Structure 1
Amino acid sequence: MKKLLKSLMVIALIIPSLSYSCDEHGLTGIMEENDLYIGPNEKGVSEVSYPDFKDVIERITRLYEKDFRKRGLTLFIQDSWENGSVNAYAQRKGSTALVNMFGGIARHETMSKDSLALVTCHELGHHIGGTPKKERPGYGYGSSRRKVYTWASNEGQADYFASMKCLRRYFEKEDNVKAIENREVPSFVRISCQNQFNSAEDVAICIRSALAGYSLANLFNSIRGRYSALSFENKDPSRVLKTYDNHPAPQCRLDTYFAGALCDKDLYDEVSDSEVDKGVCSRREGYVIGVRPLCWFRPFYQ
């Protein structure tokens, strides 16, 4: 009996240690771990080429490296085109903010160059996407009940930042009207974007971001083995009682990407690591459109 108790005590000590290590120095992927592997020579995959892949990485690095330097961080986006893993990761090593982009995710049949940029933006969002941050498991219990958070913005916030700030910045200098002129755009998306923005370019960026979100959310749907169609109109009806840190359901994630695309907050009004309503479309400020979906986000004032 004494040996059993001793073993249980050792396990209890190890588990929080492992959780701490995983959150603080480990990997935060854009989706759950999976066994899918799409090598560089496989056929029947997306039209995203290696030059496309490289261009996305280089452009986003140029756009954001100064922002990271202001925070005392060095941004490094790893080009892992040859690796067929269908995922992408953010990691913090000292003052280096790492993003590992695998070629496998770019080659998945649901993907486009725009949705690849959204993936990269999501991983940047873990580093600089603001609060809510991921809670560190094993803390926040006991007499003080004080919560402890990791460096990483949670999954929903990284999604929101990706379409609300990063992807808009990535598209900002492009001819977005031309980019969508031959695209099939759902009428609900077009009307929603037209109602939110005045200029044709801003409307086009909104549409383009929404379509990138749809492409990426379909990847999540595929990985989870779900066959129900995703919809811009029929949103996820679920409501969380507490902000959910991990990967939301694919429909919830599409709702988040669309909300970010519709948020008309100034692009350069920065988000905050401590103020949950800073730089975003907030219910507290009277916003109804472009707010973070309640399928993963629980405002503390509700």
Structure 2
Amino acid sequence: MKKSIILCGIAATALIATLGFAFKPSHTEHVCAGFVPENDLYLPANLFAAGGVTKAEFNQVIDRIETLYRPEIESMGDRLTIKRYWDDGTVNAHATKSGKNRVLSLYGGLARFPSMGVEGFALAVCHEVGHHLGGGPKYSGRDSWGATEGAADYFATLKCLRRYLAAEDNATALKNLKVDPVAKEACQKQFSNLKDQLICQRASVGGEQVGELHQRLNEMEIRPKYGTPEVYQLTEMTEDYPYPQCRLDTYFQGMLCQVSEYTRMSDTDYKQGSCYEPVHKVGARPRCWFVPN
């Protein structure tokens, strides 16, 4: 991980160390990297702007995901704490762990980003859940409890967003949403059940909403798109943020994987609960960040 990412949750530590003062180490185990890299965007609660989700939608999304995953985390002997910072304009979200306490910190600025709808915001929250439940690959070093950025992205659509959307009236919701034709065709080809097709299509809308955020933060002229997958393949796995197109590819493969959203991921066996090559032709983690053992 990059140094700036490691220090994001304990920014004062670097300053204190530089000045030569001693400090008591924190008991919090950080996966400091947010949903997106630390950035200077700030969207206050009183900002008048088109787009983004409302405070009610912000809380409804979090409530639903909390209901879905609190029992699973408690079954592990841990607690789930969700901190809702609606009034904070920070455009990000974070996952941390302190002892048996697994924490999600969610900021209103992220929810207020203009392209964000409930689909994209739910995907972002699911990504943070994925740091806790997304299995391997894990961060190395002291953050070894947490799934890496790519693993959290994959979990977000393979497991969490699919479960979130399962209880929704997706046919009605999609009447007011534009689905990318490449994503729509892939969803229809991959799933024979109409309900699964609609969940996949709506999840793809969430990926596009988040893709615009990645585009903005990375100052890209062209937004990541379905149908133009990242061609560069790594020879060594990365724990850091994949490139924006690679992240969209990861969301896409997660939503296309036919493995059940209720089969848990494994911390040690990446094949468990997921699609993988060469067994699955569609739905495996992209090679633009993932390198099989």
When the two structures are superposed, what TM-score results if normalisation uses the length of structure 1? 0.86
CA distance in structure 2 between the partners assigned to 1:47 and 1:124 by the alignment? 21
CA distance in structure 2 between the partners assigned to 1:165 and 1:85 by the alignment? 26
> What letter matches 2:285 in structure 1?
R
Partner of 2:13: none
Deviation at 1:197, TM superposition (A): 0.6
Amino-acid identity (%): 37
| Alignment counterpart, residue 198 of structure 2, candidates 201, 204, 212 | 204
CA distance in structure 1 between the partners assigned to 2:60 and 2:175 by the alignment? 22
Aligned residue runs from structure 1 range 131-150, under 5 A: 131-136=136-141, 150=144
| Alignment counterpart, residue 37 of structure 1, candidates 42, 45, 51 | 42
| Alignment counterpart, residue 106 of structure 1, candidates 106, 111, 116 | 111
The Cα RMSD (Å) is 2.1
Partner of 1:258: 252
> What letter matches 2:86 in structure 1?
W
Deviation at 1:177, TM superposition (A): 1.8
Partner of 1:139: none
| Alignment counterpart, residue 62 of structure 2, candidates 51, 57, 61 | 57
**1:70 to 1:50, Cα distance in 2 relative to 1, 3 A:** same
Q: In the alignment, is residue 295 of structure 1 matched against residue 288 of structure 2?
A: yes
Would the aligned equivalents of 1:85 and 1:103 in 2 still touch at CA under 8 Å? Answer: yes
Aligned residue runs from structure 1 range 1-302, under 5 A: 24-25=29-30, 27-136=32-141, 150-284=144-278, 286-300=279-293
Deviation at 1:57, TM superposition (A): 1.0
Would the aligned equivalents of 1:91 and 1:97 in 2 still touch at CA under 8 Å? Answer: yes
**Unpaired segments ≥5 residues, structure 1:** 1-13, 137-147
> What letter matches 1:262 in structure 2?
L
Would the aligned equivalents of 1:45 and 1:108 in 2 still touch at CA under 8 Å? Answer: no
How many residue pairs end up in the alignment? 273
CA distance in structure 2 between the partners assigned to 1:156 and 1:22 by the alignment? 26
CA distance in structure 2 between the partners assigned to 1:22 and 1:236 by the alignment? 39
Equivalent residue of 2:95, what SS?
strand
> What letter matches 2:250 in structure 1?
T
**Unpaired segments ≥5 residues, structure 2:** 1-16
Equivalent residue of 1:246, what SS?
coil
Instruction: Encode CA deviations 1:238-284: one digit per residue, 9 max, x unaligned.
Output: 11111111111111100000111101101211111111110001114
Would the aligned equivalents of 2:42 and 2:89 in 1 still touch at CA under 8 Å? Answer: yes
CA distance in structure 2 between the partners assigned to 1:119 and 1:242 by the alignment? 26
Would the aligned equivalents of 1:23 and 1:150 in 2 still touch at CA under 8 Å? Answer: no
Deviation at 1:22, TM superposition (A): 10
CA distance in structure 1 between the partners assigned to 2:52 and 2:291 by the alignment? 38
Would the aligned equivalents of 2:179 and 2:202 in 1 still touch at CA under 8 Å? Answer: no
CA distance in structure 1 between the partners assigned to 2:130 and 2:50 by the alignment? 27
When the two structures are superposed, what TM-score results if normalisation uses the length of structure 2? 0.88
CA distance in structure 1 between the partners assigned to 2:175 and 2:210 by the alignment? 21
Equivalent residue of 2:162, what SS?
helix
Deviation at 1:182, TM superposition (A): 3.2
Deviation at 1:228, TM superposition (A): 1.6
**1:161 to 1:23, Cα distance in 2 relative to 1, 3 A:** farther
